[in-house]
Chain A
Amino acid sequence: MSVSFTFLRTSARLLAPFILQKKKRTLYSTILQRCISSNTPSVPSPNKESTLPPEELELDKWKITMKSSVQEDDVSAVSGNKEEDPLAATRELIEMWRLLGREVPEVISEEELKTIMECPSKSSKKKYLKYLYIREKAKKAKQIKKEMKAEAMEKARNDRLLETAKEDKQQNFLFLRLWDRHMNIAMGWKGIQAMQFGQPLVFDMAYDNYMKPREMQHTISQLLESEGWNRRNIDPFHIHFCNLKVDGAYHRELVKRYGEKWDKLLLTTTEKSFVDLFPKDSIIYLTADSPNVMTSFKHDKVYIVGSFVDKNIHPGMSLAKAKRLNLATECLPLDKYLQWETGTKNLTLDQMIRILLCLKNTGSWEEALKFVPRRKHTGYMEISHHSQDLINRLKKLKTFNKFPKGSLKSHTQK
């Protein structure tokens, strides 16, 4: 009897979503009412009292089964208990957390486990576990997507095979299909041009002491992305990685990420400081803390971007550096053009280089500041203060100049 009953229930469960999708709106309220009404009658129904005693017996039944089913498992439990290894204990703890539905990964490697043990506080442990959990989830989702894609590809290929079998027609083409390679070669040419004649753009790599491993990884990712954006541009910068210590943290990560391409990159890496490479008065250090606002992009200057992801909030780090070296500083005119909402004014390195590239090519701030994340501001200023000032000044000038000009004209006419 019980079998048939469960079957019924599962079928109901299957049906429910189906119906819901059909007419969600109308059903919603009725289900809600049913939901509530189904609880309330259980309270006042008088004949319930008589059925309670047998129920009472049932209430503790699960405990017996839980306890009794245990004896079989006991053997394995005892054998595991013997070694009291903190690593194993941590692994068990994480496993139990997973049962609780906490955000912890399913699979943990030995190395990760050691990192967890080394975390100084409880919250840092949890944070790291959550990071692992999210990473694992993303990996899995990617795997599934990959499989689905492969399936679709397979299907498409089969279809195509059928098609080609049907019509075996020769076609005339002008080019072989080698676009990616050609693109790369063209970019390489442009890169070499930039190495010879391009405007320098310096990434200052002297912040390795202020960053934790995670921040360093983010920095390197951003550097990679920036280099990519630069490569694809019509008129790339000549990128310099200055203060890049060989076998320093930056160098290690970069080589790891770029692999063998590292030595073929069309940019200059040096252990020297930018102060040694370029004349001091042509250098402008870009930092959000600067009191000076950048008004226009100057093609004869060397702009410096600190490759520094600062999650710990060391305020004024790059400004202090520029002060020490006695360099000019500038910040982007974000407040002038954008209605800032949230977030820091520190932009990522790739956003920075895209803004600079756009400025270099077009010179328009509106165009360039499109690369500022949309979530950080609500929109552009109606008329920027700057231009409004200009208009006002022009108006004033006009009213002043009107009279003498007119008189001059009248003079010449005479």
Chain B
Amino acid sequence: MNFCFTSIRSFPKLWTSHQYLGLGPGQSSLAHLERYCGLKNQKKWFSCKTVSPQNTKSNNLLTAKARYLRKGDEGNNKQVSSESPHFFAAGSAKKRSQNSHPSKEQALLPSRKSFQVPTKPLTSEQWSKLQADFKGKAKFENWIITQMVRAHSSVDVAKSLLAWVAAENSGIVGYDLLVKYLCLCVFHKQTSEVIDVYEIMKARYKSLESGANTLLIRGLIHSDRWREAVLLLENIKKVMVPSKGNYNDCIQGALLHQDANLAWSLYQELLDYELIPVLDTFKAFFDFGRGMNDDQYAKKLLDILLYLRNNRLYPGESLAHSIKTWFESIPGEQWQGKFTTLQKSGQCLGCGRTIETSQLSSEEYDYLQGKIMKDVIDGGDQYKKTTPQELKRFKNFVKTCPPFDIVIDGLNVAKMFPKTRESQSLLDVVSQLSELNLRLLVLGRKHMLMPSSRWRKDEMERVKKLASCFFADNISEDDPFLLYATLHSGNHCKFVTNDLMRDHKACLPDAKTQSLFFKWQQGHQLAITAKLPGSKVVFQPILSYDTVVQTTGDSWHIPYDDNQVERCSFEVPTKWLCLHRKT
């Protein structure tokens, strides 16, 4: 409809321009008309997009529709291509969500019409004129400087604005204007200007707030008066905990001026506050240490790597490069770094060494088992997820059975394929696994036993014959039982579900236990990847290695985040930095 309308509108214009073109009577005007219309329409179409918000909306709708149509094709393609990333591999969650939903990212963001910020310093008269034209809720000078900060306009323009404001208000410039101006100065790295503003602020105000302090710290570290930045940090500390960004700036400043001791003590302070440093902080340390022959310093850098390991942090690509160059620059030790990936067996393609296994040590295992029992299943109130009677029944059941090889989440598996009957798909999975001579346990809820169109009795009987079964109450949660049964059976036992178990992970008390749980989950979860129920069910191969920073003394393997891939919190990077000594 939009189309028609615009084309009609363009008619009168056509006539006038037609005359203007002065076409001869012999030429076919119809062909011209058509071409002209088409062109005009297209132009109109595009201009509409930027002008009115309503049209943008309809456009978005159209693109969304188009995407929707395209989605069908993509879905078909997906079925054909069997190569899919690992369940926990970086970016795979995004891919999965794109399969099921049309991605929202492609949707055009409605571009807000931006005000043209002056590019040259204006005179007072010009500012006054601008102000007269301005209409809005905020004060003119505040609004315009916000726009200038957003557009990163030059410092001189802001200066002329401040001069005008000062002239208006008998030489006083408001604090918020000063802070915004400071923000511009810091952005453009105008150190002298930053120092000027610092002097003014120090003189005018007793104390500063965190925003200005942050900006001042960031601005001052490049100057000779960088030590005052550390004093500002002290000021922040009086009232609240400084941010990791503040610490990062101060550490960068200290390293910039060759004061490594101060940088390390600040780093220690940062850790003491239990803040997690920014990756840039690590990078600064590695960059600074390049080519240095200092054992103490090198040891501290290795401590950083261990910190990354213990907290399961992964460096970004730039930090990985810094780490690599630092290792290669150590005098006397001939390190060689390579960016590689791993084989599925867990062998590094760069050096052929095997990466650490994802098996937990026995203490870790016991600890995790206890925690799952205490926090996930019990959680302070046994009635929340189950009942004490049921828990007792389950514990007795597990005790009387010999250890299982595979524990199956019956409901999750059954609901996997929406087109097949629930009991049928459960039976498929169970019978396929039982052919491998594995001891199976199927967990479910009691309603699965009630014969219905979805749960056929004969199929459930066959499931019961092939595997041991435990059916929880309908209002109980079955996942905690799954976790406990798997953990109880021992390290060899795996579990089948496509549930990522994020809610149960969240029940665990601290990050350390959570990462332990995640490590265990990676090594023991069998996710189903096959889409076609007719064919055999295909499981995601279990990662036999643990994705974490690790060393064998003469080699380091460091997983890192690719810049291109967006990784979810529960996924692990797929790229590795392999470092080893030349022999």
**Inter-chain contact A62/B208, CB cutoff 8 Å:** no
A77 at the interface (CB under 8 A from B): yes
Please provide the chain B residues from 191 to 224 with a CB less than 8 Å away from any CB of chain A in the complex.
196, 199-200, 203-212
Which residue from chain B places its CB closest to the CB of A15 in the assembled complex?
B132
Separation in Å of the B454 CB from the closest CB of chain A? Answer: 17
Separation in Å of the A130 CB from the closest CB of chain B? Answer: 15
Q: How far is the CA of A67 from the CA of B159 in the complex (A)?
A: 16
Q: How far is the CA of A69 from the CA of B172 in the complex (A)?
A: 9
B539 at the interface (CB under 8 A from A): no
A410 at the interface (CB under 8 A from B): no
**Inter-chain contact A320/B166, CB cutoff 8 Å:** no
| Size category, A interface | 35 or more
Q: Which of A93-101, A239-247, A381-389 contacts B (4 or more CB under 8 A)?
A: A93-101
**Inter-chain contact B121/A38, CB cutoff 8 Å:** no
Which residue from chain B places its CB closest to the CB of A68 in the assembled complex?
B171
Which residue from chain B places its CB closest to the CB of A325 in the assembled complex?
B383
| Interface hub of A35, A36, A71, A319 (most chain B Cβ within 10 A) | A35
Instruction: Tell me which residues across on chain A come within 8 A of B474, comparing CB atoms.
Output: 291
A413 at the interface (CB under 8 A from B): no
Which residue from chain A places its CB closest to the CB of B113 in the assembled complex?
A32
**Inter-chain contact B160/A59, CB cutoff 8 Å:** yes
> Contacts A93-B210, A291-B474 given: A65-B239 contact, CB under 8 Å?
no
A110 at the interface (CB under 8 A from B): no
Q: How far is the CA of A59 from the CA of B157 in the complex (A)?
A: 9
B357 at the interface (CB under 8 A from A): no
**Given known contacts A38-B130, A59-B160, A62-B166, what 9 new A-B pairs fall within 8 Å (CB)?**
A13-B131, A31-B135, A39-B116, A58-B160, A61-B167, A84-B238, A96-B175, A100-B209, A122-B240
Q: How far is the CA of A400 from the CA of B372 in the complex (A)?
A: 57
Q: How far is the CA of A60 from the CA of B173 in the complex (A)?
A: 12
> Contacts A31-B133, A58-B163, A101-B142 given: A89-B204 contact, CB under 8 Å?
no
| Interface hub of A70, A89, A323 (most chain B Cβ within 10 A) | A323
Q: How far is the CA of A269 from the CA of B309 in the complex (A)?
A: 57
Separation in Å of the B260 CB from the closest CB of chain A? Answer: 29
Please provide the chain B residues from 150 to 187 with a CB less than 8 Å away from any CB of chain A in the complex.
156, 159-160, 162-163, 165-168, 170-176, 179
Which residue from chain A places its CB closest to the CB of B160 in the assembled complex?
A59
**Inter-chain contact B171/A323, CB cutoff 8 Å:** no
A360 at the interface (CB under 8 A from B): no
> Contacts A80-B206, A96-B212, A100-B209 given: A39-B118 contact, CB under 8 Å?
yes
Q: Provide 16 A-B residue pairs closer than 8 Å at the C-beta atoms, listed in order of the A residue.
A: A16-B132, A38-B126, A38-B129, A59-B156, A62-B166, A62-B171, A63-B200, A66-B173, A67-B203, A69-B171, A73-B204, A81-B206, A89-B238, A92-B206, A93-B207, A320-B384
**Inter-chain contact B200/A66, CB cutoff 8 Å:** yes
Kindly identify which residue among B118, B131, B132, B205 contacts A96, using a CB–CB cutoff of 8 Å.
Answer: B205
Which residue from chain B places its CB closest to the CB of A291 in the assembled complex?
B475
Instruction: Tell me which residues across on chain B come within 8 A of A125, comparing CB atoms.
Output: 240
A74 at the interface (CB under 8 A from B): yes
B58 at the interface (CB under 8 A from A): no
Instruction: Tell me which residues across on chain B come within 8 A of A316, comparing CB atoms.
Output: 384-385
B50 at the interface (CB under 8 A from A): no
Which residue from chain A places its CB closest to the CB of B121 in the assembled complex?
A55
Q: How far is the CA of A411 from the CA of B184 in the complex (A)?
A: 100
A90 at the interface (CB under 8 A from B): yes
B387 at the interface (CB under 8 A from A): yes
| Interface hub of B115, B210, B239, B243 (most chain A Cβ within 10 A) | B239
Which residue from chain A places its CB closest to the CB of B205 in the assembled complex?
A96
B318 at the interface (CB under 8 A from A): no
CB < 8 Å A-B pair total: 139
**Inter-chain contact B171/A320, CB cutoff 8 Å:** no
Which residue from chain B places its CB closest to the CB of A45 in the assembled complex?
B120
Instruction: Tell me which residues across on chain A come within 8 A of B383, comparing CB atoms.
Output: 320-321, 323-324
**Inter-chain contact B128/A62, CB cutoff 8 Å:** no
Please provide the chain B residues from 238 to 295 with a CB less than 8 Å away from any CB of chain A in the complex.
238-241, 243
Instruction: Tell me which residues across on chain A come within 8 A of B133, comparing CB atoms.
Output: 31, 34-35, 38
Separation in Å of the A362 CB from the closest CB of chain B? Answer: 31
Which residue from chain B places its CB closest to the CB of A6 in the assembled complex?
B168
Separation in Å of the B190 CB from the closest CB of chain A? Answer: 13
B interface: dominant SS: helix
**Inter-chain contact B121/A59, CB cutoff 8 Å:** yes
Instruction: Tell me which residues across on chain B come within 8 A of A97, comparing CB atoms.
Output: 209
A interface: dominant SS: helix
Please provide the chain B residues from 135 to 158 with a CB less than 8 Å away from any CB of chain A in the complex.
135, 142, 156
**Inter-chain contact A42/B159, CB cutoff 8 Å:** no
Instruction: Tell me which residues across on chain B come within 8 A of A55, comparing CB atoms.
Output: 121, 123, 160
**Inter-chain contact B171/A101, CB cutoff 8 Å:** no
Please provide the chain A residues from 44 to 87 with a CB less than 8 Å away from any CB of chain B in the complex.
48, 51-52, 55, 58-63, 65-67, 69-71, 73-74, 77, 80-81, 84, 86
A372 at the interface (CB under 8 A from B): no
B366 at the interface (CB under 8 A from A): no
Separation in Å of the B495 CB from the closest CB of chain A? Answer: 23
Q: How far is the CA of A135 from the CA of B205 in the complex (A)?
A: 28
| Interface hub of A40, A48, A93, A321 (most chain B Cβ within 10 A) | A93
Instruction: Tell me which residues across on chain B come within 8 A of A74, comparing CB atoms.
Output: 203
Separation in Å of the B172 CB from the closest CB of chain A? Answer: 7
Mark B residues whose CB is within 8 Å of A: 115-123, 126, 128-135, 142, 156, 159-160, 162-163, 165-168, 170-176, 179, 196, 199-200, 203-212, 238-241, 243, 381, 383-385, 387, 474-475
Q: How far is the CA of A38 from the CA of B118 in the complex (A)?
A: 9
Separation in Å of the B122 CB from the closest CB of chain A? Answer: 6
Q: How far is the CA of A63 from the CA of B135 in the complex (A)?
A: 28
Q: How far is the CA of A101 from the CA of B146 in the complex (A)?
A: 12
Which residue from chain B places its CB closest to the CB of A40 in the assembled complex?
B116
Q: How far is the CA of A13 from the CA of B133 in the complex (A)?
A: 9
Kindly identify which residue among B120, B196, B243 contacts A63, using a CB–CB cutoff of 8 Å.
Answer: B196
Separation in Å of the A89 CB from the closest CB of chain B? Answer: 5
Instruction: Tell me which residues across on chain A come within 8 A of B199, comparing CB atoms.
Output: 67
Q: How far is the CA of A61 from the CA of B163 in the complex (A)?
A: 7
Instruction: Tell me which residues across on chain B come within 8 A of A317, comparing CB atoms.
Output: 384
> Contacts A291-B474, A317-B384, A320-B383 given: A42-B209 contact, CB under 8 Å?
no
Q: How far is the CA of A61 from the CA of B172 in the complex (A)?
A: 11
Please provide the chain A residues from 367 to 399 with a CB less than 8 Å away from any CB of chain B in the complex.
none
A9 at the interface (CB under 8 A from B): yes
A138 at the interface (CB under 8 A from B): no
Instruction: Tell me which residues across on chain A come within 8 A of B167, comparing CB atoms.
Output: 61-62
> Contacts A42-B120, A69-B172 given: A320-B381 contact, CB under 8 Å?
yes
A279 at the interface (CB under 8 A from B): no
Separation in Å of the A123 CB from the closest CB of chain B? Answer: 11
| Interface hub of A12, A20, A38 (most chain B Cβ within 10 A) | A38
Separation in Å of the B384 CB from the closest CB of chain A? Answer: 4
**Inter-chain contact B163/A48, CB cutoff 8 Å:** no
**Inter-chain contact A323/B238, CB cutoff 8 Å:** no
**Inter-chain contact B387/A323, CB cutoff 8 Å:** yes
Separation in Å of the A95 CB from the closest CB of chain B? Answer: 8
Separation in Å of the B412 CB from the closest CB of chain A? Answer: 19
Separation in Å of the A271 CB from the closest CB of chain B? Answer: 22
Separation in Å of the B151 CB from the closest CB of chain A? Answer: 12
A17 at the interface (CB under 8 A from B): yes
Instruction: Tell me which residues across on chain A come within 8 A of B116, comparing CB atoms.
Output: 36, 39-40
Which residue from chain B places its CB closest to the CB of A59 in the assembled complex?
B159
Separation in Å of the B204 CB from the closest CB of chain A? Answer: 5
A43 at the interface (CB under 8 A from B): yes
Which residue from chain A places its CB closest to the CB of B473 in the assembled complex?
A323
Instruction: Tell me which residues across on chain A come within 8 A of B120, comparing CB atoms.
Output: 42-43, 48
Q: How far is the CA of A244 from the CA of B153 in the complex (A)?
A: 63
Which residue from chain A places its CB closest to the CB of B115 in the assembled complex?
A35
Kindly identify which residue among A59, A66, A81 contacts B171, using a CB–CB cutoff of 8 Å.
Answer: A66
Q: How far is the CA of A66 from the CA of B167 in the complex (A)?
A: 11
Instruction: Tell me which residues across on chain B come within 8 A of A77, comparing CB atoms.
Output: 206
Q: How far is the CA of A63 from the CA of B206 in the complex (A)?
A: 18
**Inter-chain contact A101/B132, CB cutoff 8 Å:** no
**Inter-chain contact B123/A9, CB cutoff 8 Å:** no
> Contacts A38-B133, A100-B209 given: A60-B179 contact, CB under 8 Å?
no
